[in-house]
């Protein structure tokens, strides 16, 4: 990737609805080469897709919950079974494998405390092999970005 590709990515992260014409003007290319570059970035998997960013509060899910999970066993089949179940639960937006005393951190959105309790009882407690569930509720957001850092661009 060169500086033009990086600038295309930055601009599309800022506004995925930019027309090719506007994008081409912003990166100082004619429309055809700009479209070729954008399609190449998509074909290579650098740009995976385009999505609307939805406000969680306006959508009715104002509470962000971070759930730390520790498994009772770490065999291949146990880990695979846990991860397969997690992938099937829509309420879990992100799941990270982490180092330290916990094995996974999940990000979940919820309406309220009762809604979160239902989620734990009806979704998490049904997954075999969980040794512990620890919960942290976010009470504020300092920074949240969808923009990947790009070296060499300001």
Query: Which domains are delineated in the chain?
Result: 3-43 (1.10.10.10), 56-137 (3.30.70.920)
152 pLDDT band, cuts 50/70/90, is low
| Residue indicated by tokens 């920074």 | 143
pTM: 0.86
pLDDT digits (tens, 9 = 90+) for 60-118: 999 999 999 999 999 999 999 999 999 999 999 999 999 999 999 999 999 999 999 99
């Amino acid at each position: 990737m060169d500086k033009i590709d990086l600038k295309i990515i930055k601009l599309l992260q800022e506004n995925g609805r930019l027309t090719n014409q506007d994008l081409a003007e912003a990166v100082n290319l004619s429309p055809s080469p700009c479209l070729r570059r954008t399609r190449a970035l998509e074909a290579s998997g650098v740009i995976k897709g385009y999505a609307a960013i939805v406000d969680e509060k306006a959508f009715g899910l104002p509470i962000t919950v971070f759930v730390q999970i520790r498994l009772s066993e770490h065999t291949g089949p146990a880990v695979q079974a846990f991860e397969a179940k997690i992938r099937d639960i829509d309420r879990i937006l992100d799941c990270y494998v982490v180092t330290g005393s916990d094995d996974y951190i999940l990000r979940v959105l919820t309406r309220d405390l009762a809604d979160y309790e239902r989620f734990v009882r009806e979704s998490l407690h049904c997954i075999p092999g969980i040794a512990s569930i620890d919960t942290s509720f976010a009470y504020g957001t300092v920074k949240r970005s969808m923009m990947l850092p790009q070296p060499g661009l300001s």
